[in-house]
Structure 1
Amino acid sequence: MSFQTGLSGLNASSKSLDVIGNNIANANTTGMKSSRAEFADLVASSLGAAGGASKGAGIGVSVATIAQQFSQGNINITGNSLDVAINGGGFFQVTMPDGSTAFTRDGQFKLDRDGNILTNTGANVMGYPTDLLGNSTSVTPQILTIPTGAPIPAQVTTEITAEFNLDARAKVAASVSPATPISTYGTSLTAFDSQGVEVPVSLYFVKTGPDLTANPAVAADTWEVYDSNTLAAGTTALATNAATYATHNANSTWNTANPGPDQRATFAAAGTGIYAADPQLTMVAAGSLFQMTFDVNGGLVTPAAPQTLTLTSPNVAIGNFNATLDLSGATQYGTAFTVSNLTQDGYTAGELTGISIDPSGVIMTRYSNGESQARGKVALADFRNVQGLTPTGGGNWVETFASGQPVLGEPGIGKFGELRAGALEDSNVDLTAELVNMMTAQRNYQANAQTIKTQDQIMSTLVNLR
């Protein structure tokens, strides 16, 4: 019986050394999780023992299980945009070349010639499809693919948004001599037609109120809006208004100095012979796109809704096309004219220049035209019992009955960890501890061998009895 006990100890110690050796060999393997041999003693029962209890010394030891340790490994920065580490719980779900499903913590991803995201073992990384803004459009994982071939097509400009401040200290443009140039308060941007050809867009703002001398009087803060197509008409209108102001101011001065009706530099109502004070002629606003009105707090009152702006493509086959102009963020405060935001949603065609993955798993592609678009979201999986997973090599695990079915989700939500792009999760093997464990296992092996040697000597003594 003692020989069997010692032999079981040798087998268990040998198995423990195998596990320790595997841990040490994979100390630098990305996503590797260390294991340990867990022992259980073997006891022989005796039905005839007094009191129903066994008095046996035991018959040895066995390896009850080899348990994996799924603790977090260190995050190592690599700078490779397709390297991804999981900081927290979860596994990447992959589809193996044979079509089976596996799970891994190894985020060393690559692109194949078709734009599919693969692991080093050739498995497809699974994720959720998204719209171009990164919002998931399905809860069913699919193979993640990046369009690396043809450039993305051009998109025509349909929306223009401008946020700016108009100087509340500015005078009515035509009341200044010479008149304030129409380009004093202006800004520009580049829009695109349906073929991605650039279309310059300029906006000009001309102050026309408040003006109590106008007929009718303008009590509110008002600005006329012009663009490139109406600039000439606006300039003519501004010149006309400036002349009107000059005449009015001159007449007002003359009338003040010459109050008599026969001396007023005014005009007589037709057929009446009655002279009246010189009124301000109606201001000319020819060609303006629309008028902006601000309240006493500097906030925009009108227009309350986006306006339609007509753009002209240099391609006569395309001609004119419309875009909405949103000026709801405009203000009028007593500071200098500044533009804080000027955007439009069009762009020309662009080639793929880079890929990045954010902490929530959204895969963003960057293009030569300055655009960024989401092309999917990495999916994560977790299990009720990760100890029940079976390793299959290559850093992969497969589900078993003991692990339960995978629970799928998105990074950073619930129990799933966030992703760290440009980084990898190191092995969680503690090399120092493994070396100490190896020495302990070696001593155990030697001690078990010694029990067998001692038992052999005892048996020899018995055999040699005369």
Structure 2
Amino acid sequence: MSFYTSLTGLKNAQTDLGVISHNIANAETSGFKKSRTNFADIVAVSILTDPSLTTGIGSRVASITQEMSLGPIEQTGNALDVAINGEGLFTTKAPLSGTTQFTRAGSFSVDGNGFITNASSNRLQLFPVNAAGVITSTTSTVDALVPATNAAGADFAGVSVNDDGAVIASYADGSNTSIGVIALADFIAPNGLKQIGNSNWEATGISGAPTYGQPSTSQYGTLLSGAVERSNVDISEELVGLITAQRYFQANAKAIDTATQISQTIINLRT
């Protein structure tokens, strides 16, 4: 029994090492959120078991949770680099599948078709606005599309994002046009979001459905233009965790070695 009990500890240590290694590998990934391994003990009892003589039979991984705390903000000067100072995630859509994805990595650019996209080529989602720049709907979103020319026929000259999320396109004749307001998403249980890579998440039944809002309103954070949010991984903390996980693995391996020696001693009693 002691062999299998220690084996669960070895497997847990391997899982912990994997999670910590993943965190360290993404220490420089913009918008990345570190994970933490949570363990639970395993106890097998019946109605006839004496509670004072109950012996545990090992441990298991209870969950691997994401820590959604804010990472350091890095100034870049790029007008389409946007960081969220507070709650919320950017909403994007994959152009081919139409899948809605969420991210904290706010490094955007304008593609050849005029769409504002992230590194995964997903299109940033905006609340639609009227000619005066007033939001017309907060229940639906549209792709962020920058017209190549304005109503007067002037060519596109640049784009910027205001603190309130308004995306402003500038044209060669000196005019400015609001193409929409960035839609931030929030969840009842953000730890339940499904990681799909590239600092993107998808909603699940655990996270609940997203609620959308404008930056700087209610629980939604403010936007910082010309900046990106770095990974919230603390290298020093992870290295200490790495040492702890290594000791955890060694201790369980030593327990197996000790159990082997005891078994060998018992066997040798007959010889």
Please give the TM-score of this superposition, normalised by the length of structure 2.
Answer: 0.95
- Which residue is equivalent to 1:69? 67
User: Aligned partners of 1:365, 1:82: CA distance in 2, in Å?
Assistant: 11
SS in 2 for 1:391: strand
Is contact 1:90–1:416 with CA below 8 Å preserved after alignment?
A: yes
Q: Counterpart of 1:430?
A: 234
CA RMSD of aligned residues (A): 1.3
Identity of aligned residues (%): 43
Confirm or deny that 1:142 pairs with 2:117.
no
Quick check: 1:38 aligned with 2:47? no
Residue 423 of structure 1 aligns to which amino acid in structure 2?
A
Instruction: Give the corresponding residue for 2:93.
Output: 95
Task: Go from structure 1 to structure 2 and tell me whether the alpha carbon gap of 1:153 and 1:126 turns closer, same or farther (over 3 Å shift).
Answer: closer
Q: Secondary structure at the match of 1:405?
A: coil
Matched, 1:369 2:173: yes
AA aligned to 2:91 is Q
Structure 2 counterpart of 1:402, from 184, 206, 225: 206
Alpha-carbon shift at residue 58 of structure 1 (Å): 0.6
Structure 1 segments (4+ residues) deviating >6 Å: none
Determine the C-alpha separation between the residues in 1 that align with 2:243 and 2:184: 39
CA shift digits 1:101-128 (9 cap, x unpaired): 1111111112111101111111111111
User: What are the residue-to-residue correspondences of 1:346-361 with 2, within 5 Å?
Assistant: 349-361=153-165
Larger radius of gyration: 1
1:57 pairs with 2:55: yes
Q: Deviations over 1:57-82 (max 9, x none)?
A: 21011010001000011111111111
Tell me the amino acid that sits aligned with residue 47 of structure 2.
Answer: L
Equivalence for 1:212: none
Identify the residue that residue 419 of structure 1 maps to in structure 2.
Answer: 223
Q: Which residue of 1 aligns with 2:183?
A: 379
1:445 aligns with 2:240: no
Q: Indicate the structure with greater strand content.
A: 1
Give the 5 Å matches for 1:157-168.
Answer: none
SS state of the match for residue 114, structure 2?
A: coil
Q: How far off is 1:133 after superposition? A: 3.6
Q: What's the counterpart of residue 118 of structure 2?
A: 119
Contact 1:36–1:66 under 8 Å retained in 2: yes
Q: Using a 3 Å threshold, how does the CA distance of structure 1 residues 391 and 413 change in structure 2: closer, same or farther?
A: same
What is the match of residue 9 of structure 1? 9
- Between 136-145 and 62-71, the greater mean CA deviation after superposition: 136-145
Query: What code does the residue aligned with 1:80 have?
Result: N
Once the two structures are superposed, the pairs formed by residues 27-426 of structure 1 within 5 Å of their partners are 27-50=27-50, 53=51, 55-96=53-94, 97-139=96-138, 140-148=140-148, 151-154=149-152, 349-426=153-230
Are the counterparts in 2 of residues 46 and 56 from structure 1 also a CA contact under 8 Å? no
Which amino acid letter does the alignment assign opposite residue 137 of structure 1? T
Q: Does 1:21 align with 2:12?
A: no
Q: Report the counterpart of residue 242 of structure 1 in structure 2.
A: none
Displacement after TM superposition at 1:46 (Å): 4.0
Please tell me whether the aligned partners of residues 128 and 377 of structure 1 are also in contact (alpha carbons under 8 angstroms).
Answer: yes
CA distance in 2: counterparts of 1:371 and 1:124, whole angstroms: 25
Which residue of structure 2 aligns with residue 457 of structure 1?
261
Aligned residues: 268
Cα deviation for residue 350 of structure 1 reads 2.8
Alpha-carbon separation, structure 1, partners of 2:229 and 2:170: 26
Unaligned runs of 5+ in 2: none
Q: Any unmatched runs of 5+ in structure 1?
A: 155-348
Secondary structure, in 3 states, of the residue corresponding to 2:177? strand
User: 1: CA distance between counterparts of 2:104 and 2:62?
Assistant: 26
What SS class does the counterpart of residue 41 from structure 2 fall into? strand
Q: Is the 8 Å Cα contact of residues 46 and 54 (structure 1) preserved in structure 2?
A: no
**Counterpart residue identity of residue 384, structure 1:** I
